[in-house]
Amino acid sequence: MTRSDPRQNARLSAALSGAVDLSAVKARAEAANRQATAPAADTPDTQWVIDVTEATFQAEVVERSLRTPVIVDLWASWCGPCKQLSPVLERLAEAANGAWILAKVDVDANPRIAQLFGVQSIPTVVAVAGGQPVDAFAGAQPEPQVRQWIGSLLDALRSQMPGIGAAEVEQEPVEEQPEPEDPRFTAAEEAVDQGDFDAAVAAYQRILDEEPANELAKTAMAQVRFLMRASDADPAAIAAADAAPDDLTAQLKAADAELADQRVDEAFARLIRAVRNNFGEDRDRARKQLVELFELFPADDPRVAKARRDLASALF
């Protein structure tokens, strides 16, 4: 477990896939686009950065993305990391000169948009093209990393949206400097290497007490907690849980045993059944363990995407 864990940049595209249904508007929007020689001009000083509300979301994000990629910045005024990330996105949008549009959404004022994308934390950034979410990331990221993400995104979309030209997306290269080691993480990782999971949990908790939005610490904490449980996982727990379907504790232990045995789908399905069959605090116990297990995988893992959808169905 190292600080270069790729889950720090976990993408949400699989979980978001299909969240926006274009079937009712796509034909009308494409017809309108064929009639127009160019999109209507916006105010010159804000033409690449727009504020979007629930009332304007369909036109400004879904329909606009049929012509130009739209990157949605989901933020709130109270969110410290948002204040770091939003100016970076705004600068890059202006520098891109129309290769993509930045749509800013205040989640407090527009909660339905956040719900639509299944947002669990902010800032969350979602790329929309052709009316569908295609990629995303959560948490404040350094500018070089955001540049790289946008560049890769536009490269991938160029074959689908020929109007994206290489010159339009060219941006000033930034030399990445190696990130200095954070001694707080080093101490936690050493504790994990020594098998002292309690010390590792305490170290990560201290980081989260200081920085509640630290995504890397959240992910590392989920990994350590699972390692603690998995070290005691008993394969016999699965049969015991199958024999006692109403015993929630047995179901939670069995899910850990299944995951430790690489039976990912079975573990997810067991916890979703527990969410569906319980109420109150018991339901929340099952939900929390399932969400914690999601953190062990890349967010674009199709098994996670399916389980997130099934969890939403079980809850609502």
Give the residue numbers annotated as catalytic, written as ranges: 79, 82
Q: Could you give the CA distance from residue 137 to residue 142 in angstroms, rounded to a whole number? A: 12
Q: Could you give the CA distance from residue 48 to residue 37 in angstroms, rounded to a whole number? A: 18
How many beta carbons lie within 10 A of that of residue 22, not counting itself?
17
φ/ψ region of 10 (left if φ > 0, alpha if ψ in -120 to 50, else beta) reads: beta
Strand arrangement, sheet containing 101-106? 49-51, 101-106, 70-75, 124-129, 132-138
How many beta carbons lie within 10 A of that of residue 208, not counting itself?
14
Tell me the DSSP string of 60-80.
Answer: IIIIGGGTS-EEEEEE-TT-H
Which residues, in sequence order, are bridge partners of residue 133?
A: 128
